[in-house]
Structure 1
């Protein structure tokens, strides 16, 4: 009788072990590693959070105020207080202001920006915070690249060294705005900051961008008429465009001109003003909206 009991226990152990193996195998095939891209609703500004499939955190601009903290709190794991890579596309407050709140709450390893300064008190305050918190500051230019973890990388298209050398003669800060491509597998997302029509025209003159297959386009300058052009859209032909913009903002963004360009081209677009946070996921099968 005792032997029968032991035998049943052993059989039960084998069954439980087999079920665990099946469960682990099933879960591993169901939960594929994904990269999450969140166009945060930060009001009138830009703030994009990316968490790569291997756990690297990236923040591209941070809006004007503290709204970016709500986005990070929602999508960044609660136990993770370190952002490996951050960007300030150009020194205007609707792109850098949120960093005044992020720095100190989170450990930032590297900040990539442009060697053009803003003389406002808020930007000077940010510069002090960057220095005080020992954040590594890097300037990158067209043709520079960054590996982001094992499976993603970033390629810069703007600014060029030449435009930076002429910065004393260029009055519009938007003409310095970073433009770069985040790539993972077959998915490319083009981030354009507040790039002006003149910058966009220069970009599509080059073969690298004009021949790229862009899945997602971050519409430049919050949908301002001084951003996206029909010429640029026809060359890029994104599968989806995202407008990061505040509802009922004082600038009238997105402009009727930009909406008309998108609609006439039959090019799908969404905006944070209408939908709040816009979440995309990327895996080895491509991209999709969550």
Structure 2
């Protein structure tokens, strides 16, 4: 009997020590004073996870299915089930479907949407039901809205504007996508939903420098033109697309433009998950899932 108690005590002590090691490892990893941006590998869709220097968790879109849950669990401490901010750029299923499981499994504080978004879809209706059931705060954003996370990160809405915009097909949900800029010290990131070249060109007119660009609409041929980067070009472009997808994204035309302008780019269909890590002055980026590669890049002011 005494031996049995000693064995139980030993197992309990070992488990306690193991949990302590995991806790301190994850605490050091996730609270290291750096901003992390993960372009999740969710197939043909978009999901971007952001964790700020002091652990504010943000998700932009949820992809086409539940794969986003694996991305979140890989990049959040095991004890953290809170998402302070979730953005839905627009309600297309390849951006919205995964949010159903996210809203069910995580404690989401605020869901932000485009002011002009139409949620009259099966997925949209389910999202609205969960929001009401869990009493999640919902807010509509328009151009010029901005807020701070409290640890130096600022998020600003660059699109859409108030009401209809002349020269833009406002009946197209893609062109009503939320476009969000994320800023941390000298670092800048632009998340573009599925907007087309004419809108991206307008937005980039407000930038002097841009470190990371999420290429709009999975790299479709309407994402940008050969004139888009004449004034400002990103240090890194990331394309979120599914391997061997039926749309043949990214377009060869888009890849050619990136190459012509000397813009380094990563693709989730080839590279898997793409993670950007920055202290606000230097950038490291790595391909998380397949051939691991870590590079350092100085931000050019």
TM-score bracket, shorter-length normalisation? 0.7 to 0.9
CA contact (8 A) 1:47 1:63 kept: yes
CA distance in 2, matches of 1:227, 1:114: 19
Does the CA-based 8 Å contact 2:96-2:123 persist in structure 1?
no
Uncovered stretches (5+) of structure 2, i.e. residues with no partner: 1-27, 287-301
Q: Which structure shows the higher helix fraction?
A: 1
For 2:196 and 2:248, how far apart are their aligned partners in 1? 17
Q: 1:32 to 1:122 in 2, by over 3 A?
A: closer
**Which of 232, 237, 256 is the aligned partner of 2:233?**
237
- 2:146 aligned partner: 145
Structure scoring higher RCO (CA < 8 A, sep ≥ 6) equals: 1
Name the stretch that deviates more: 191-200 or 155-164.
155-164
Match of 2:24 in 1: none
Report if aligned partners of 1:163, 1:176 keep a CA contact under 8 Å in 2: no
1:164 deviates by 7.3
Contact 2:52/2:151 (<8 A) preserved: no
Partner SS, residue 161 of structure 1: coil
Q: What CA distance in whole angstroms lies between the structure 2 residues aligned with 1:93 and 1:153?
A: 28
Which residue is equivalent to 2:283?
A: 287
Deviation of 1:165 after TM superposition, in Å, equals 11
Q: How does 1:55-66 map to 2 (within 5 A)?
A: 55-66=55-66
Alignment of 1:47-62 (within 5 A): 47-62=47-62
Kindly report structure 1 stretches of 4+ aligned residues shifted beyond 4 Å: 164-167
Question: What does residue 157 of structure 1 align with?
Answer: 158
Determine if contact 2:187/2:280 at 8 Å carries over to the other structure: no
- 3-state SS of the aligned residue for 1:288? strand
**Equivalent residue for 2:256, pick from 234, 256, 260:** 260
**Partner Cα distance (1:152, 1:45) in 2:** 26
Match of 2:90 in 1: 90
Distance 2:138 2:167 in 1: 22
Partner SS, residue 122 of structure 1: helix
Q: 1: distance between equivalents of 2:156 and 2:262?
A: 28
Which ranges in structure 1 are unaligned for 5 or more consecutive residues?
1-27
TM-score, length of structure 1 as denominator length: 0.83
Correspondence 1:250 to 2:251:
no
Matched-pair contact (CA < 8 Å) for 1:228–1:258: yes
RMSD of aligned Cα (Å): 2.0
Aligned counterpart, 1:20 = none
Query: Does 2:135 correspond to 1:134?
Result: yes
The answer (yes or no) to whether the contact 1:153–1:182 under 8 Å persists in 2 is: yes
Provide the TM-score with structure 2 as the length reference. 0.81
Report the CA distance between 1:149 and its aligned residue: 2.7
Q: Radius of gyration: which is bigger?
A: 1
**1:221–1:251 distance in 2 versus 1, CA, 3 Å:** same
